[in-house]
Structure 1
Amino acid sequence: MADEHALAFFHGALLDEDADTFLLQDGDYLLQAKPDRRYGPPRLILAVRRGTRIRRIDMNKTDSGYRFLGKNYSDLQTIIQLYTSKPLELPNGDHVYLKRPIAKSKFQLIHKDIKLQKKIGSGAYGTVYKGVLTKDSRPIAVKRIDSDGKTDQALIDMMKECRVMQLYDHPNIVKFYGYIVDRTPYLLVMELCSDGAVEDKLRSMGRAIPTNRRVDFSMQASKGLEYLHSKNCIHRDIATRNCLLHGTVLKLADFGMCRATTIYKIDLTKPQNVRWLAPEVWKSGETRFCTDIYAFGVMLWELFEIPYNTPYHTWPAYTVKERVMGGYRLPAPKEMPDSLIMLMKKCWDHDANRRPTATEVRKQLEVINSIFNEDDLKTGRMDLVEKDKSLVLTARSRSMMLGPSTPTKASGKGQKAKRERDDNNNSKMGTVTARAHTPSQR
């Protein structure tokens, strides 16, 4: 193994913006490896803070060691020791002593910290493997990023996801263990959710998934989304494909599009997840908490569509965009409880400011879940959280909210006829209001 890999302050291909957050005081330093687009092997860089700036100096490998500032050295430790006692001359005539080596953080793993076992999935980003952490044999999922190490883009995309994931810890969020950039392939390491994506379960199991489980999935997803929003984070990709199952626990996943901000401007010339995208985004180009709520409403539809279909599955993406902007909304699935239909429609309000917050969604879903899963909650087979006293329903208010007194019973003829009338009216609202580029279908 190359000499630099043995050093605690070698951070591999860590991006400058991430490395800079570690260098806080004058003389703090670390080593980075930069992709070399011409010759292949990465360049070794010494990064050191001097005042308000971070200085970066090449440390070139040679057959006999390293060349640094015009002189040859046999190993890196000799260079470091020299400039802890002697000032390092900087190009602008300034100088700095190397004072404090900055070791890798707890999220910076190296390849020997994990063992890959088998491939469990793949996508445009790369390949996902099942594996274990070598220190305790803990099961993990490892996302291998397709990159030859000669360009930064794949690493940039991965590190955006890592920056978000390492901030959060919640039972309904996939747990982040770390990232590996000491050499290629670059890897993202997270909790293994052994039962796969909710979308896959909906497709494969169909009616075998009872209504009460679908309600519980909805409630758990709302708790994860509420947590993200409480941390001022927009997920931007809420869908059943990005919800994973570990036993009966649902966890939000795939934070590649997530942004730790309350407003995020997107480039509308690039492909969008059209079928989950709120209509106002096509005009403003801005995503907010309320756009996550709109997507959550589409996910509620996914959870109750039997057999499962992609939203608007018979329409091309450009038709979805035009119809939704014109006011059209998906017809409620026949198996969806009335209380969920009401909530779903609120999530789709054309006026984004009138949509419920994630906290309001979670509160409503906890009430609904407590009714559909009353026996399971009593026996402790599902997580039970203390509900706000204001949400305790009287018999009258419950009947107003839920319609039929027996939640699992099919709707009566009157309600069915009303729903069909609503759907027919809804379908007439698909007026085209604008046409831009044709978005790609995800």
Structure 2
Amino acid sequence: MGSREIGGSRELFTKSAYFDAATKRDTSLAPKSMPATSVPGQLSSTATTPTERGTEKEKEEKTGAVNDRGREKPETTQQATENSQALKAPDGVGERKKKKKKRLRVNNNSMAEEKTSNIPEREDFQVFEKKLREFNFYHGFLPREDLSSTLHNPGDYLIRVSEVAENEQKLTREVILSLIPVTVESKNEEDKNRPRNVVIKRVSNMLFCETTRTFESINDLIQFYTKNTGACSQGTFQLKTPILQQPWEFMHSDVQVGKVLGEGAFGKVCAGQLKLKDGTNVEVAIKMTKVSAFLSKAKIKEMMNEARFIRNFNHKNVVRLYGVAHDEQPLYILLELVKGGSLLDHLKKAKEKGAAVSVLEKIRHCSGAGKGIEYLHQNHCIHRDIAARNCLLSENVVKITDFGLSRTGPSYKIKGSCKLPVKWLAPETLSTFMFSYATDVYSWGITCYEVFADGVEPFDGVSNAVVKSNVLSSKFLEMPSTTPEAIKKFLNTFIFVDASRRSQMGMAVAEFERMAVMCENGQLEMGGGAKQKLMKVFKKRHEKQSKGD
């Protein structure tokens, strides 16, 4: 792990390009809906809380996703209310509790004093969790965002766990029965196949999801509702089809964790082995969180968002995702192990050794990154954090990685404050906070600068405020003098321009492929700086030959 000076502030960052981009992004972009302590529309050198609000939050509230404490909302008034510490017991429990209290000579027979809880506390939950793993429809810490792609038909169901951080010291875990109802009291067609989340509660070691029925075990509860119906939000449910683990879901027991590759404030990346579904073992990079209880739910959501974007991707210029192990914590994101390190480190190390990467290799690196981005755009993904630090090298093949900021295209507008790499941002992002395929192309152009500058940071030594002012005034980055003239001209004409005139990624890739062929055949005119260096080399050789004669 190292550190660097960025915009007047010093931040820790990891050398592993797999690791959480939040530890590497170097500045904050403050949209107009900033807290009172920030100046709207201006850049801040102080990082703000990485959260994006607005329509996503409104959507959650509209669909009953989470309440203001971050808990899963109960589906009906017949279910237990999660926020109350004193919970009315189901019918039939009262008499048993009164007898128990009498035997123990308890003075107060009030139901409110009887212990009620979500599924057991952290230490007790580990025992309970082993029982849950016995079910092949247990999906661990699967977030609700994945339910729509997992549950499809009436009667589909699975069990998962949700963890709520009350504060830094206290965690509450809930076991959720996620399902598609069999009947829905709504005229809205979208409501019919919308997943419902029924919270399973516990009172005196009895489990229930309706206050009128209790069960001694999860298995008893499941068996009952496979034969009978229960109430859920706007309808009734019956458990017909258990949804088994998906091809991308693994257990922690399938993973062997090896040495640490990179580490930061929020997590680390380790090398390891993964046992695939067919029994074969592959080398993987294991990305995992190491955060406080308070941040764990947010980090799980962010990491699962990254995994959701790339789990169906299959391209040689995009890092492959094998899957996720989320049956327990910490969550594991299981990625293809790329042993060549980041493109940024490769460029810097080569320069330090006095063996800078050749022009042909640099063109191919830019082209490879472009091919990966083109594939992402074809699959409706805006990466939003294209940079040399987020490109890995595998036998000289560039692979795009780190999808923590990625969103579904063709466009996305940030609704609140979040930490972003200002020097890589397109002018339209700086002015309107809008991301698109075109903004990825602009960031790719900045990455080309990093490549031809041998890893030097763009706008090196210039403050973020000045960078923003210059870019918005169309004073774009100038490529290094050693850059071939044809590449300079292409970037200045088709990349470092307004979005309306900017090239699509496919066109840029085709042009760089053409220039790579020209370079290989000695037909590509090099930049003035490169010419001068070659002339010096030739001059020295000539002088040595003259002395020898």
So what's the TM-score if we normalise by structure 1? 0.80
Deviation for aligned residue 1:161: 0.9
Matches of 1:91 and 1:212, distance apart in 2: 61
Q: CA deviation at 1:232?
A: 2.3
CA distance in 2, matches of 1:366, 1:141: 30
Structure 1 residues 81 and 408, CA gap change in structure 2 (3 angstroms): farther
Aligned counterparts of 1:339 and 1:192: Cα–Cα separation in 2? 35
Structure 1 portions without partners, runs of 5+: 375-397, 414-442
Q: Give the drift of 1:408.
A: 11
Aligned counterpart, 1:81? 223
Q: Which moved further from structure 2: 328-337 or 288-297?
A: 328-337
Which position in structure 1 is the counterpart of 2:502?
Answer: 355
CA distance in structure 2 between the partners assigned to 1:300 and 1:240 by the alignment: 8
The aligned amino acid for 1:315 is: V
User: Residue 228 of structure 1 aligns with which residue?
Assistant: 376
Alignment of 1:14-413 (within 5 A): 14-38=142-166, 40-50=171-181, 51=184, 52=192, 53-60=194-201, 66-70=207-211, 71-90=213-232, 94-134=235-275, 135-148=279-292, 151-206=296-351, 207-208=354-355, 209-267=357-415, 269-306=417-454, 308-373=455-520, 402-403=524-525, 410-411=530-531
Q: CA deviation at 1:269?
A: 4.0
Structure number with the bigger relative contact order (C-alpha 8 A, sep ≥ 6) is: 2
Q: Quickly say closer, same or farther: Cα 1:409–1:91, change in 2 above 3 A.
A: closer
| Partner AA of 1:75 in structure 2 | S
How far apart are the structure 1 equivalents of 2:449 and 2:476? 11
Q: Distance in 2 between matches of 1:127 and 1:185?
A: 11
Report the alpha carbon displacement of residue 289 of structure 1 after superposing the two structures with TM: 1.5
Q: After superposition, give the CA deviation of every residue in 1:214-242 in whole Å (9 maximum; x if it has no partner).
A: 11111111111111112222111111000
Deviation of 1:335 (Å):
2.2
Post-superposition shift, 1:366? 0.9
Q: Deviations over 1:69-124 (max 9, x none)?
A: 345434322221222112224476x4332100011211111211111101101245
State how far apart, in whole Å, the 1-side matches of 2:266 and 2:312 are: 22
CA contact (8 A) 1:301 1:333 kept: yes
Report the CA distance shift for 1:130/1:185 in structure 2 as closer, same or farther (over 3 A). same
SS at match of 1:331: coil
Range with bigger deviation, 126-135 or 69-78: 69-78
In the aligned structure 1, how far is the partner of 2:233 from the partner of 2:471?
58
Q: Percentage identity across aligned positions? A: 28
How far is the alpha carbon of 1:200 from its aligned partner? 0.7
Which residue, out of 124, 127, 130, partners 1:2?
Answer: 130
Q: Can you list the C-alpha shifts for 1:366-394, whole angstroms capped at 9, x where unaligned?
A: 111123346xxxxxxxxxxxxxxxxxxxx
| Cα offset, 1:10, TM superposition | 0.9
Q: By how many angstroms is 1:336 displaced?
A: 1.4
Pick the structure with greater CA Rg.
2
Q: Give the 3 Å change call, closer, same or farther, for CA 97–67 of structure 1 in structure 2.
A: closer
Residue 130 of structure 1, CA deviation: 0.8
CA deviations 1:338-376 (Å, max 9, x no partner) are 2221222134433221111101111011111123346xx
Give the aligned partner of residue 390 of structure 1. Answer: none
Say which SS state the counterpart of residue 370 (structure 2) adopts. Answer: helix
CA displacement at 1:202 relative to structure 2? 1.0
**Counterpart amino acid of residue 7 in structure 1:** F
- Shift of residue 327, structure 1, vs aligned partner: 2.3
In structure 2, distance between residues paired with 1:354 and 1:246 = 33
- Which amino acid counterpart does residue 84 of structure 1 have in structure 2? T
- Note if contact 1:35-1:149 (Cα within 8 Å) is conserved in structure 2: no
Aligned position for 2:3: none
Aligned pair in 2 of structure 1 residues 267, 318: CA closer, same or farther (>3 Å)? farther
Supply the distance in 1 between the matched residues of 2:503 and 2:143 (Cα, whole angstroms): 38
**CA 1:323–1:133 in 2, change beyond 3 Å: closer, same or farther?**
same
Distance 1:96 1:68, change over 3 A: closer
Q: What is the match of residue 16 of structure 2?
A: none
- Alignment deviations for residues 18-68 of structure 1 (CA, whole Å, 9 cap, x no partner): 123322111111111111334525211112211414332222357857444
In structure 2, runs of 5+ residues without a counterpart are: 1-128, 185-191, 534-549
Distance of aligned partners of 1:99 and 1:343 in 2 relative to their CA distance in 1, 3 Å threshold = same
Q: Which secondary structure state, in structure 1, belongs to the residue aligned with residue 420 of structure 2?
A: coil
1:91/1:269 Cα in 2 relative to 1: closer, same or farther (>3 Å)? Answer: closer
Q: 1:99 to 1:126 in 2, by over 3 A?
A: same
The farther-off stretch of 70-79 and 131-140 is 70-79
Partner AA of 2:502 in structure 1: R
TM-score normalised to the size of structure 2? 0.65
Aligned residues of 2:372 and 2:399 also touching (Cα < 8 A): yes
The residue aligned with 2:48 is none
Q: Which amino acid aligns with 2:282?
A: R
RMSD of aligned alpha carbons: 2.6
Go from structure 1 to structure 2 and tell me whether the alpha carbon gap of 1:83 and 1:349 turns closer, same or farther (over 3 Å shift): same
Question: How big is each residue's C-alpha offset from its partner over 1:194-213, in whole Å with a ceiling of 9 and x where there is no partner?
Answer: 11100011111115222221
Select between 263-272 and 223-232 the one with higher mean Cα deviation: 263-272
- Are the aligned partners of 2:445 and 2:496 in contact in 1 as well (CA < 8 Å)? no
Distance 1:342 1:323 in 2: 20
Q: Which runs of 4+ in 1 moved over 4 A?
A: 61-65, 148-151
Partners in 2 of 1:26 and 1:182 — Cα distance? 25
